[in-house]
Amino acid sequence: MTAASLLALIESLIAAVPNLVTLFGELKSGATVTEDQIETALAAYTTARAQLAADIAAEKAAGD
């Protein structure tokens, strides 16, 4: 693993942490979760999945 790829990995993972912490705070406080929030989270999967599928395809093309 190169330094650049490691940095990219850490940056992407750290970027997800604030969202998780915010969600954690909301849920622990008993805040009401709306249907829109669930729909948004489910829709976000489509985007994340497309990105992963594209990167898998790129890796396959590069011969892993």
What does each C-alpha distance from 62 to 32, 46, 55 come to in angstroms? 46, 24, 10
Q: Per-residue x/- mask for another protein, residues 5 to 44, rule CB under 8 A? A: xx-xxx-xxx-xx-xxx-xx--xxxx-xxxx-xxx-xx-x
| Closest by CA position to 27, among listed 9, 41, 7 | 41
3 forms part of the interface with another protein (CB under 8 A): no
> Taking the alpha carbons of 8, 9, 14, 16 in that order, is the dihedral positive or negative?
positive
The residues binding another protein (CB under 8 A) are 1, 5-6, 8-10, 12-14, 16-17, 19-21, 23-24, 27-30, 32-35, 37-39, 41-42, 44-45, 48-49, 51-53, 55-57, 59-60, 64
